[in-house]
Amino acid sequence: MPLYFAKHRPVIERDGTLIMVDDDRIDLKAGEVITQQKVRFRTLGCWPLTGAIPSQADTLPAIIEEMLISTSSERQGRLIDSDQSASMELKKRQGYF
């Protein structure tokens, strides 16, 4: 899956998360600027619900090495987790998944 490998992609930073902007589904807010950054995706949720992470890992061995030294969860880029405390628990109870 190409999105797992780092490459320069058009992104904006929104609420501390890098969001890839590669079509017209993202409405830019005032002050948001699209920049090219070398990023990859650690998980692939429903686009654009997963944020990108800055990365140089563009090969499988580099991805494995990055994951071995990472101190953050592979789910860190899920935008759904940033809406409120314990939101995933609430969504489970509501039948979200």
- Split at pLDDT 50, 70, 90, the class of 25 is confident
Residue 19 confidence (pLDDT) above 60:
yes
What is the separation, in whole angstroms, between the first and last Cα of the chain? 24
Determine which of 29-38, 60-69, 78-87 has the lowest per-residue pLDDT on average. 78-87
The Cα–Cα gap between 66 and 57 comes to 7
Residue 60 confidence (pLDDT) above 90:
yes
Q: Is the bond leading into 2 cis (omega within 30 degrees of zero)?
A: no
The Cα–Cα gap between 93 and 31 comes to 37
- Split at pLDDT 50, 70, 90, the class of 8 is very high
The Cα–Cα gap between 41 and 91 comes to 23
Q: Which residue has the higher pLDDT, 45 or 4?
A: 4
- Split at pLDDT 50, 70, 90, the class of 39 is very high
